Structure 1
């Protein structure tokens, strides 16, 4: 049976480090308050003039290099997961594809917020398994610093900027790096738990300018926490049952890096030892669609070829999703 194989992994973080101490001065809080509630010690924010497309292009270039490819490679599909595109129109993916000299590859954005990378993986894997393309580039990239409310402590201390990319190739089921399955879901009735209220067609159709607060990202933290744990654990359990993997056989749980307490709660609900949960939120913060590839790259020393890896995420929409794969013999760049 044909399958999508993970063939390369690349990441990019902007150089600017933003410590808890820097934000503590701005928001009348403390390093301890931030760490105990989120697990975050620092995050990266893009420099002035640095866009999501810039981060995505660099991560994509590195992923191609990791896969033994380069600029101008024969890639048939580019899927970019992001909440912070360079422009409302057009999508950012075609520009990234052009900057990577990928010719006329199909390229488009996916907006599933923090679940975006898992959604993008599923789309690319389906295209490969259906025989439409042989190679795909999947990217999660965000510049959340551009949509954070500068007066909102609860969101501004959580989010960071970054990008991660994966090269998927056509291969065979059972081959190292093959994806065993996916599980996706949504709950649009609760879209207002994670959103930017103003700036879209609904607000624009009123012919009224949005209030200043409505232009920024907003989140109902306590409700999101409970929903994230329930949906990520439920999706993971459903996927494991569908593909026939036992919880005990999962070597590594790589969840969306939203909050260290969420990650531990998901592992506990699944019955996975917390030592098997990959955590890097302390160094990069919540990078939304970029968080899973960034966590995978950080865990390279922990994950060995042949290990079973479970990915799971939750984000605005509401959206959630999980993916499972056996780890290949690759070196992230």
Structure 2
């Protein structure tokens, strides 16, 4: 598979096909961590119904493919503070720590990735992190993980942005390994959009998200078997479909006052006023147009997968897995539909789409790592298989990584869930 029969690229909407990275690197370590507290659809069904948009738990499951979300104890407490101590659908893990930070989750995921590769933290040459929901301005998540793991004081950089920062970091890692003396790069992502970037009462958005972290260990290679292809793009013309403004210090007092008023109105049963405030005041909260996300994000991800396979001259039949950002089950299936209808991929493409969204929710930049671990748990990944890892997120940002899977030294460490 290469260019079209006319010798030209297809008419892509988003991707610039000739700006990509080709490198030799191998995925040698993988880990993820998800807290064990649960929020079921019953919680958001109760919220939606109280706000005048009656939904059942089954309605929410049909719309998203989501059944539960893994969350921290502090997030369950936040839910009870807003919706009441007797709110349904909130399930505690008695052994969960009362306070658990994004860095705590990232460290566990990184430790599992190192253990799965049989490597030591002292071998890491570069740390790259991503988050769309942390509040660590400096030291950054990357720097704090470096400290907690006991790494050398090597480069530690953090990208902040929505759900495609992980594909951006894959490309950065490839370029670091190809252009520097670094041989081993640790990638980490930790997320809590549910608690940190959405308002829980904005249930159409907040109900999609869970919490967790993932980590990848990438090693420079000289083997032709480890040729990988990575591409990213950004199109701010579509920013309005999914955006988030971090509040400034000067806005903190106003935001706290609005929060207090929203909660007061909700507790008083003045739901029209709650809906008005949620729609009017968005600084500090994510804003999402679900219909446009469904239309645009799958197309961007499909273009990234198609163009990388053309660069690699890889026939679609030889791509075994498409393990995409786990945004929504309907969006995942739509990626396959776009590849089939727009780029003449075979009908079997839809069977290659990994969907592990149901029990975790959208983990933003940590979701591809989670989906890879779940694919390993199910025994779906095998030596030498090609897989594409696409993502799209707010901004609008999109990208993908095309690589072969070559196994892990200690796969049991990667699939740990305790």
- C-alpha distance in 2 between matches for 1:122 and 1:231: 17
Q: Which runs of 5+ in 1 are unaligned?
A: none
Provide the residue aligned with 1:196 in structure 2. 244
Q: Which runs of 5+ in 2 are unaligned?
A: 1-21, 50-54, 75-98, 260-280, 340-344
Equivalent position SS for 1:132: coil
Provide the residue aligned with 1:318 in structure 2. 396
Provide the residue aligned with 2:356 in structure 1. 280
Q: After superposition, give the CA deviation of every residue in 1:215-242 in whole Å (9 maximum; x if it has no partner).
A: 2122111111111011111111111111
Change (3 A) 1:188 1:68: same
Query: After the TM superposition, which parts of structure 1 deviate over 6 Å for at least 4 consecutive aligned residues?
Result: none
Task: Quote how far apart the aligned CAs of 1:122 are.
Answer: 1.1
- C-alpha distance in 1 between matches for 2:320 and 2:157: 33
- C-alpha distance in 2 between matches for 1:6 and 1:173: 13
Computing the radius of gyration from Cα coordinates, the structure with the larger value is 2
Provide the residue aligned with 1:85 in structure 2. 134
Q: After superposition, give the CA deviation of every residue in 1:225-275 in whole Å (9 maximum; x if it has no partner).
A: 111011111111111111211111100111111111111111122235322
Change (3 A) 1:295 1:248: same
The alignment status of 1:119 with 2:195, answered yes or no, reads: no
Task: Quote how far apart the aligned CAs of 1:32 are.
Answer: 1.4
**Quick check: 283-292 or 242-251, which moved more?**
242-251
2:219 is matched with which residue: 164, 169, 182?
A: 169
Provide the residue aligned with 1:290 in structure 2. 366
Provide the residue aligned with 1:51 in structure 2. 101
- For these two proteins, the number of residue pairs brought into alignment is 327
**Contact 1:251 / 1:309 at 8 angstroms: preserved in 2?**
yes
- C-alpha distance in 2 between matches for 1:218 and 1:207: 18
Provide the residue aligned with 2:117 in structure 1. 67
**Quick check: 109-118 or 59-68, which moved more?**
109-118
Alignment RMSD (CA, Å): 1.9
- C-alpha distance in 2 between matches for 1:188 and 1:113: 13
Task: Quote how far apart the aligned CAs of 1:88 are.
Answer: 3.2
Provide the residue aligned with 1:184 in structure 2. 232
Task: Quote how far apart the aligned CAs of 1:200 are.
Answer: 4.4
The alignment status of 1:3 with 2:24, answered yes or no, reads: yes
- C-alpha distance in 2 between matches for 1:224 and 1:164: 24
The alignment status of 1:255 with 2:305, answered yes or no, reads: no
**Contact 1:2 / 1:173 at 8 angstroms: preserved in 2?**
no
Q: After superposition, give the CA deviation of every residue in 1:56-103 in whole Å (9 maximum; x if it has no partner).
A: 111011101111023x42101111110112423332110011101112
Provide the residue aligned with 1:140 in structure 2. 189
